[in-house]
Amino acid sequence: MMMDEMTKTERVMAAVMGEEVDRIPVCFWHHFKPGGSGRRMAEATLEFFEAEFDLDILKIMPDLPYP
């Protein structure tokens, strides 16, 4: 039986709860090296991943050293 297409939030929440999903949620990330403004880096990351991929989860994390 085919299931209706879920929203990204519905899909991720159902998967976390161990419930049935319409497909496995998709997520991947890359640690970009920040250059200049953190805001510009976040905006560029969002633009890249939203334009190229239809991910269910989007993680933005700069590659910054910890103290």
Using one digit for the tens of pLDDT, what is the confidence trace for 35-67? 677 788 778 878 888 888 888 888 877 766 656
When mean pLDDT is compared over 2-6, 9-13, 45-49, 52-56, the highest value belongs to: 9-13
**Which carries the bigger pLDDT value, residue 9 or residue 57?**
9
**Which carries the bigger pLDDT value, residue 27 or residue 13?**
13
Query: Would you kindly state where each structural domain of the chain is located, as residue ranges?
Result: 26-67
Q: Give Cα separations from 3 to 11, 13, 22, 25, 63 (angstroms).
A: 12, 16, 6, 15, 39
User: Is residue 14 a contact partner of residue 6, using CB atoms and an 8 Å limit?
Assistant: yes
Q: Give Cα separations from 31 to 8, 45, 47 (angstroms).
A: 22, 10, 15
